[in-house]
């Protein structure tokens, strides 16, 4: 007994599929996969939740590590350079003496900029940044001193060279 194979009777046709049909089949196939996946999750909920958690963790770890590395690099760059020098002023200095000190310090070539922070400005900033705003309202007098924030020229911003300015 011999079996003859006839290509016309095989059931497969070599009909071209239009782009619209391809697009339609794409969405039908995706819908079938979604229904199949939801059915699998419904049948095995514990295993499915564990799989989802493992996949979420495996995607989160590299992103978190990348963010941590970038932040540490940023902190390291800022840590290596002493970019500001804070000078705290005596409380008994008059406004004229403070103005004179600002002019003298600004005259140095090593200084890029100078910023004066009064006692009141320092207290307002401390209240805002520390989170002790209401507690600080109970103080009878301002314990913070006035200060000068000195920013050296770029060549004097390293820790070794900024010591020469501070002296």
Q: Domain map of the chain by residue range?
A: 19-79, 82-166
- Would you call 112 helix, strand, or coil by DSSP? strand
Q: What is the DSSP letter of 144?
A: P
- Strands of 85-88's sheet in order across: 85-88, 147-152, 111-117
Query: What pLDDT band is residue 67 in, cutting at 50, 70 and 90?
Result: very high
Looking at per-residue pLDDT, the higher value among 130 and 6 belongs to 130
Predicted TM-score (pTM) of the model is 0.48
Contacts of 165 (CB under 8 A, 6+ apart): 85, 108, 110, 111, 150, 152, 156
pLDDT of residue 163: 67
Per-residue pLDDT at 80:
53
Residue where the block lists tokens 């564990």: 50
Helical H runs in 44-138?
A: 45-80, 95-106, 119-130, 133-136
Residues 82-106 pLDDT 10s: 578 888 998 888 889 999 989 998 8
pLDDT of residue 8: 54
Instruction: For residue 38, give both structure tokens.
Output: 């939801």
Give the end-to-end CA distance of the chain in Å, rounded to a whole number: 110
DSSP 2-23: -----GGGSS---PPPPHHHHH
Q: Is the pLDDT of residue 5 over 80?
A: no
CATH code matching the domain that covers 82-166, chosen among 3.40.630.10, 3.40.50.1100, 2.60.120.10, 3.30.70.3040: 3.30.70.3040
pLDDT of residue 165: 67
Structure confidence at residue 12 (pLDDT): 59
């Amino acid at each position: 007994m011999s079996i003859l194979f006839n290509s016309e009777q095989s059931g497969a046709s070599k009909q071209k599929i239009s782009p619209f049909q391809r697009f339609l089949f794409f969405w039908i196939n995706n819908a079938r996969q979604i229904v199949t996946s939801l059915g699998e999750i419904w049948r095995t909920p514990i295993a499915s939740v564990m799989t989802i958690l493992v996949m979420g963790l495996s995607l989160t770890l590299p992103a978190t590590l990348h963010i941590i590395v970038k932040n540490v690099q940023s902190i390291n760059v800022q840590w290596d350079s002493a970019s500001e020098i804070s000078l705290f002023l005596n409380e008994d200095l008059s406004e004229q003496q403070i103005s004179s000190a600002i002019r003298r310090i600004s005259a140095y070539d090593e200084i890029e900029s100078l910023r004066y922070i009064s006692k009141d400005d320092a207290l307002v900033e401390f209240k805002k940044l520390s989170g002790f705003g209401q507690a600080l309202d109970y103080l009878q007098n301002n314990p913070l001193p006035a200060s000068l924030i000195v920013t050296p020229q770029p060549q004097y911003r390293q820790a070794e060279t900024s010591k020469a300015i501070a002296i």
